[in-house]
Structure 1
Amino acid sequence: MTTTPENGGGTLTDERVEEQTSTDYRYDAGDHEKFSHYAPKDKIMQAMIEGTPVRALCGKLWVPSRDPSRFPVCPVCKDLYENVVHNDDPSS
């Protein structure tokens, strides 16, 4: 909304914030099928039960559905866990 100079001049803005209500479940491209990823246990369990995707520490979005012990650990997840998450844990 703007005002004209004869009405006092200046510009008024009308800001609107739209809240997104749908969830974007687009899967990330990459080698997420080749690795086991780190994510919060409660999120992994919920994703396995509901069949919804979970976001790993490395940022990959995937639906956990297989035995993670059959695959090597994602090097990015491992590095983030060891150097960031584990170091921030006061109980370690």
Structure 2
Amino acid sequence: MSTDTKERPDVTTDRSTDDDTPKFFHYVKKDKIAESAVMGTHVVALCGEVFPVTRSAKPGSPVCPDCKKIYDGLPKGD
């Protein structure tokens, strides 16, 4: 019989990864955000990326540079 101690490898049961965290937040039509968050439908960002809304941006969050460029080029509303 062996008296060697076997160490258990570090394992986490948390299945979330860094991939779940968006690299950028995108500009999306305001009326589509709530619908997507509740119904799980996909939205289309100004840059063309399609995804379901799962998080809301906080002040200072990184913004998609393509969305920002398009948004800044849109005519200003009232």
Tell me the TM-score normalized by structure 1: 0.55
Matches within 5 A, 1:34-45: 34-45=23-34
Is residue 52 of structure 1 aligned with residue 41 of structure 2? yes
Q: How far 1:44 sits from its partner (Å)? A: 1.1
Q: Which has the higher contact order (CA 8 A, sep 6+)?
A: 2
Number of residues of Structure 1 aligned to a counterpart in Structure 2: 56
Q: How far 1:66 sits from its partner (Å)? A: 1.2
Match of 1:30 in 2: none
- Gap runs ≥5 in structure 2: 1-21
Structure with bigger helix share is 1
Larger Rg: 1
- Specify the code of the residue in structure 2 equivalent to 1:89: K
Instruction: Give the secondary-structure state (helix, strand or coil) at the position aligned to 1:44.
Output: helix
Is residue 77 of structure 1 aligned with residue 67 of structure 2? yes
% identical equivalent positions: 41
Counterpart contact for 1:47–1:54, Cα < 8 Å: yes
Matches within 5 A, 1:1-92: 33-69=22-58, 71-83=61-73, 85=74, 88-91=75-78
- Specify the code of the residue in structure 1 equivalent to 2:72: E
Distance in 2, matches of 1:36 and 1:53, equals: 15
